[in-house]
Amino acid sequence: MTFVQIVECRTERPDELNQLMDTWIEQTQGKRTATHTMVGSDREDARHVVEIVEFPSYEAAMRNSALPETDRIFREMVALCQEPPTFTNLDLVRDEQLLKDAARRLLLEPADGDMSVIDDLVAPDYRDHDPSVDGDTVGPAAVKQMIEGYRRAFDFTFDIQSQIAEGDQVATRWIWRATHIGEYMGIPASNKTIESSGMTIWRFEDGKAKEGWWSWDAVAMMRQMGMMPG
């Protein structure tokens, strides 16, 4: 179970505290078990500093605490604080990464024929970049038209393999599995089973996709369809 530790302190020397974090990151490279750390200062009181550190588990956090580098940096941190730091130890019981969910919906729901998600989650000025297509696909209507074109040619699904979210962007690695049921690029329906892998990165703004980048194995698809030699 993911474990999160919140460390709070008050200090007149926030810059030095931040430098300590840089030192800890440098000295624990290849040893630390922390997977994510954030430091913030209170907008109402800049002396109030909060650090949030994420670990894969409580046991991993304890191993991290046992590092001599962690112990030394902590003692130096205490010296910079006006009063002893406070700790809040949390077992994470819910972690909703909302942009990941939006990216999943953008792949899965149109494949099932539900285009309403495009209206819900695609910005009016959205731009789609796909090297297999001449020029960008711009706007929800054009995205729907593109998807419908694929759906006339293929009965397909996306199998999501993994997702990584950072800031306003989500990268989704997927496998596309399809049956060729209609004409595609001059090739009549063959009922062949086709599989291709790829990745899509979406950038979101105000909850809607503003830009998308596609990278996928079009060559593998064409070979399976007989459009290219194996």
Q: Quick one: pLDDT at residue 99?
A: 94
* Domain positions in the chain: 3-91, 98-225
Q: What span, in angstroms and rounded, lies between the C-alpha atoms of 55 and 176?
A: 33
Q: Residue type at 227?
A: M
pTM flag (> 0.85): no
Q: What span, in angstroms and rounded, lies between the C-alpha atoms of 144 and 139?
A: 9
Mean pLDDT of 36-44: 92
Q: Quick one: pLDDT at residue 226?
A: 81
**Which pLDDT band holds residue 68 (cuts at 50, 70, 90)?**
very high
**Which pLDDT band holds residue 94 (cuts at 50, 70, 90)?**
confident
Calculate the average pLDDT of the chain. Answer: 92
Asked whether the predicted pLDDT for residue 20 surpasses 90, the reply is no
Q: Quick one: pLDDT at residue 225?
A: 83
For domain 3-91, the question of CATH label 3.30.70.1350 is answered with: no
Asked whether the predicted pLDDT for residue 113 surpasses 80, the reply is yes
Q: Quick one: pLDDT at residue 133?
A: 84
Q: Quick one: pLDDT at residue 230?
A: 63
**Which pLDDT band holds residue 86 (cuts at 50, 70, 90)?**
very high
Per the CB < 8 A criterion, the answer to whether 5 and 90 are in contact is yes
How far the first Cα of the chain sits from its last, in Å, is: 46
- Which residue in the block uniquely carries the two structure tokens 């503003």? 210
* Residues counted in the chain: 230
Asked whether the predicted pLDDT for residue 96 surpasses 80, the reply is no
Q: What span, in angstroms and rounded, lies between the C-alpha atoms of 224 and 127?
A: 29
Mean pLDDT of 49-75: 93
* The CATH number fitting domain 98-225, selected from 3.10.450.50, 2.60.40.420, 3.30.420.40, 2.40.30.10: 3.10.450.50
In terms of Cα–Cα distance, which of 189, 214, 188 is closest to 203? 214
Structure tokens at 10: 């008050």
Per the CB < 8 A criterion, the answer to whether 157 and 174 are in contact is no
Mean pLDDT of 180-204: 93
